[in-house]
Amino acid sequence: MLVLGGTAEARRLAAVLHRDPAFAVTSSLAGRVAVPRLPCGDVRIGGFGGADGLTAWLRGNRTDAVVDATHPFAARMTANALAATAAAGVPLVVLRRPGWTEGPGDRWHRVPDAAAAAALVPRLGTRVFLATGSGDLAAFAGLDAWCLLRAVDPPPPPLPARHHLVLARGPFTADAERALLREHRIEVLVARDSGGELTAAKLVAARELGLPVVLMARPPAPDAPAVASVEEAVAWLAAALAGRP
């Protein structure tokens, strides 16, 4: 099995497969974090060289199935996985945790992308927590606001002219997120609809403080079988590979 990882779900899946002698699992990490959390089993770090490179890797390593358990916003890797598995004739399943659902007290503004978020923010506040991940920060470089940024490693430019960077690795508690928002007098939170409990604390804190949230929509779902949990992914793999030597 090849698990395209980098998420908590990918690490859990690798652990489950690693314990089962029926599976030999290799996890692939993009290498964007200097010191990543490593899953169980074999691990490779770095890109494949696009869809063609991934196709060659699948063939060269006699891969029986691929699980795309990358971040919901890793659209390029998912597109490469779709193309490569189709070319190599290898089954693919996409493991995606469900997106977040708005509840009582939430003040969410859903937008299609980072550009739309950057256009909306000035109408909501002047002190902004950009909890978007490093890949989307360039869209906010021209924002006329004070911005709080948080990342595991220093993000590349361009960045907002007025910003404060916090280097930290989650998950974070709701108490910690509430304290962070208060410390920096945040007026609006910008986040991606990543889903999952591990990254939801900032939304809880924003709700409790009555802050508006600009929530960026996920890329379109890929045209591939999809599951929402590790258990479903394991069952899909067992069914897809039933009868293979």
Domains of the chain: 2-98+220-240 (3.40.50.720), 108-216 (3.40.50)
User: CA angle 78-83-85, nearest 5°?
Assistant: 90
Distance, in Å, from the CA atom of 244 to the CA atom of 38, rounded to the nearest integer, reads 29
pTM of this prediction exceeds 0.85 = yes
* CA proximity to 101, closest of 202, 177, 200: 200
Per-residue pLDDT 10s for the chain (245 aa) are: 999 999 999 999 999 999 999 899 999 998 877 778 899 999 999 999 999 999 999 999 999 999 999 999 999 999 999 999 999 999 999 999 999 999 999 999 999 999 999 999 999 999 999 999 888 999 999 999 999 999 999 999 999 999 999 999 989 999 999 999 999 999 999 999 999 998 999 999 999 999 999 999 999 989 999 999 999 999 999 998 886 65
DSSP helix/strand/coil, 98 = coil
